[in-house]
Chains A and B, each alone.
Chain A
């Protein structure tokens, strides 16, 4: 059931063209809530090249998370076009979007969002199982090992510290080998040192796999590590 083919719209991008296309390409994106009464994104343009590490900042309520949701296909913009990993997000149906997230995107949250009923290993295996990967356990162990959690594979989230939970969440996001990693303040719930460690882990994994990172953070001390920093104000992006 997870092997559904993407629609013709989604399959437009040929491999050769993909390589040239940016990881994220948004044009004239408008998004509002409350039937148009609260404008969140206004005519927003964004391009993130493949392999680029971009940080997104902005005050609370500025629309950072909404932009992440639009890019991942969890929110549909009112207008404008969004291409994520060469796929036309705004024209894809729910199943195609789910498949895109499964195959091409990894997401890391501030609140970890691990499955409490699953061990660390099973949590990391989950996206691989959903993709029908036969090497799910092997890949999951590798991924956990790469975030330093090889000895905690059989532990449940409730038995792990906050930093450890976030490591498992990162391992889960990276295990399927996504082209794009979206991170929504993954260090927001952690102390500075642990947050720095998490970022080290994340960057080391991304560099090895040449993944694109689009990273929301409030922590200005982390910004120097990103190739580009964007700020969201009044629904539009400003690049520093």
Chain B
């Protein structure tokens, strides 16, 4: 047996609980990271495996507002091995028991190009929807969501966008779900020929047309897209390839991966702090043993090997258990997730992800374990002559040792599985942890000042906190991030709810209407007035198109910040106004001037000032747009600073007149002054009289937003609680390490005649104060975070919500008292003689 193994075997004795706790903390963080990374890899593989089915072809081309021309269809057919067309729109579905916005989709006889579209009970979708109409009622395949929301049964008749259909069958497999889809939805699937025959397609309706193409053999996607672009440079469509089959879900998976990986890394950081703290405390208690080994001829190198070996064993055991647990969780979760997703998620063994999780566990642990090991390896056996060794006498780390720790930390940061910008968050979390350490250190120091004024035994407890401030601060660093996050989430959620319940419900228009045809505007206004005399409808013209050039440069050459990228990415609405309808309290001109009547026939544009700044667009620059395949160029006349959060109707681009004569357009309307009940009545009536109009009752949206906010907050809380549960073993380990000191103190107190109650009070005072110095800075930090989100980012009124903060502090202190209290009562009950004899 090597000397190192011989010593390690003995040193591990009796420390199993402490090391098991440290291993548990690291194992937990490793499990979460392994699960997150493997899950993301599994998603990536599943997307890739079923990309053609999900997309509906090798390439999907989408057009808004106009149909594909004969020439385009001819080219697409000639240049593909398979071709299919479909349409999709959001339309109001109304039955005898209510109305809901549904996803209407059409399919032609080639549908689907890949995969199978089937109905429940067996059979092909086309066989159901391809049948003939009876009495103007068309067969439709629907989702269970639609039947549930409209309280319908199979065979029932209902209306969608003015088309009367019967729920003929339930969809079983839809290989090409809506690309914006996240979860199962309200679907109505009809045949293309019936949709056209129903006569509901009119100019101004928001309908997307899709052409799906199976590429010819030996033809690559890039090459094919280049040919398409060359043949139809002004097509005005959006083309997606199989790498973006489900963009919304893919984005969500990517964002979730980043967020959860960040949370797992923070947990790993907490565990690393814990393992470092546990190792430091352990080595402090082993200082004499280290000196003895060195006195007997062991070198400092041997000491480093002994304790690093122990750390590797502890971290390795935890990390290994973590990756096994993470992978097992993935294998269990993948089938469950598939039930709620539009694709079958196949769990894979991603060795790269598992290896990365393990390696990060080692590297992050090493950052915190190396300093104490290198520090305590300096223990000088000379101290044995004077009765023992003291940590205070040891010199600090050498420059080379500091460099080694910095190198390991840098390697960990390089390996962190986050995108470049997001890595800053890891450094931010580390900086926050460091700040909490310092704040708690200061607070613990203050406890010492109060000790002079407090009567014993409270003063003893306060002094103990002050003298062991490093331990309290280390616990604060572990718990602090989670607690601060919890405090921030509660603060943000509470403040948002106050805003929603207060100002938002009063300020937001009661109802919005999309897809209003020009000849329906007055009829709608009349109908709404009948529903509620106070109703005040504002309708503005809208046409959909896309921005193609800014200041003469194609938008494809722009790389704006993410919050403005959507403006250039695809179709959006444009409106026009000959006067200053879009200038007012919530939208003011900050540069340029409002147009008058003397524009000499020139098309002018008013642009969102913040977006213009992001794009580098200035007054006088040209904005080229493409509407229905036709280009139009406007000159920027002014920039408007828009308060979008006021929910007034507004647009990024407002034109001075229609982009060209007789442009087919619709109207977008907002209604104020109408009661919510009247709005709901009007919504039902619209299903009968204005079936093509999509009404949105704001109250429902606000309710949905509140529910969504509550769900997001619950999700964030769950992640934070995971972080906190990772910190609990760290705190338990810290409390366990200080147990011996408390035991010694209690024996000394009892020897001088302190009653058990006094010893208990002193220990509980120490625990409560330790808890306070851990918790208070973290909660204050979280509240500051809440103010930053609400006050600084969203510019909304902020409330400190001190009651919530106080409750969180009370819960955390109670948690400390329960954890440490058990140990205190054991200490008070333990006989002093064994300690006096052996210590």
Contact = CB atoms under 8 A, between A and B. Distances in A.
A109 B6 contact: no
Interface string B168-205: 00000000000000000000000000000000000000
Contact of A2 (B11, B291, B297, B300): B297
A2 B834 CA distance: 37
A98 interface: yes
B297 A65 contact: no
Given A1-B301, A69-B382, A113-B288, A107 B295 contact: yes
A37 interface: no
B354 to A, nearest CB: 33
Interface residues of B, number: 34
Contacts of A109: 384-385
Nearest to A107: B295
Interface in A105-152: 107, 109-111, 113-118, 122, 125-127, 129-132
A200 interface: no
A75 interface: yes
B1 interface: yes
Nearest to B386: A65
B338 interface: no
Interface in B605-644: none
A68 interface: yes
A233 interface: no
A233 to B, nearest CB: 20
B300 A94 contact: yes
A169 to B, nearest CB: 10
Nearest to A102: B297
Contact of A126 (B13, B296, B299, B834): B296
Nearest to A172: B296
Nearest to A122: B10
B297 A98 contact: yes
Nearest to B7: A126
Interface string A59-102: 00000010011000011000000000000000000110011111
A191 B141 CA distance: 99
B387 A131 contact: no
Q: Which DSSP category, helix, strand, loop or mixed, fits chain A's interface?
A: helix
Given A111-B384, A116-B289, A98 B299 contact: yes
A74 B381 contact: yes
A187 to B, nearest CB: 15
B513 interface: no
Contact of A125 (B6, B292, B388, B837): B6
A21 interface: no
A99 B301 CA distance: 13
Given A129-B1, A132-B3, A68 B385 contact: yes
A131 B298 CA distance: 9
A117 B301 contact: no
Interface residues of A, number: 37
A115 B3 contact: no
A32 to B, nearest CB: 15
A126 B387 CA distance: 20
A94 B388 CA distance: 20
Nearest to B289: A115
Contact of A117 (B13, B294, B385): B13
Given A74-B382, A117-B13, A1 B302 contact: yes
A103 B294 CA distance: 13
Contacts of B716: none
A103 B448 CA distance: 49
B838 interface: yes
B10 A101 contact: no
A214 B834 CA distance: 34
B502 interface: no
Interface string B382-400: 1011111000000000000
A139 to B, nearest CB: 14
B591 to A, nearest CB: 72
A52 interface: no
B388 A111 contact: yes
B572 to A, nearest CB: 70
Contact of A111 (B293, B298, B387, B838): B387
Contacts of A131: 297
B293 to A, nearest CB: 7
A179 interface: no
A198 B297 CA distance: 24
Nearest to A162: B837
B346 interface: no
Given A98-B294, A129-B3, A158 B838 contact: yes
Contacts of B13: 117
Contacts of B838: 157-158
A130 B293 contact: yes
B301 A65 contact: no
A60 to B, nearest CB: 12
A164 interface: no
Nearest to A115: B289
Nearest to A126: B296
Contacts of B289: 115-117
Contacts of B217: none
Of listed A100, A117, A158, A172, residue having the most chain B CB within 10 A: A117
B380 interface: yes
Given A69-B385, A111-B384, A115-B10, A101 B302 contact: no
Given A74-B380, A101-B296, A111-B388, 6 more contacts: A1-B305, A68-B385, A101-B297, A111-B387, A113-B384, A130-B296
8 contacts: A1-B3, A2-B3, A2-B297, A2-B298, A95-B299, A115-B293, A130-B298, A132-B3
Interface of A: 1-2, 65, 68-69, 74-75, 94-95, 98-103, 107, 109-111, 113-118, 122, 125-127, 129-132, 157-158, 172, 184
Closest A-B pairs by Cβ, 7 of them: A102-B297, A74-B382, A129-B6, A127-B296, A118-B10, A65-B385, A158-B838
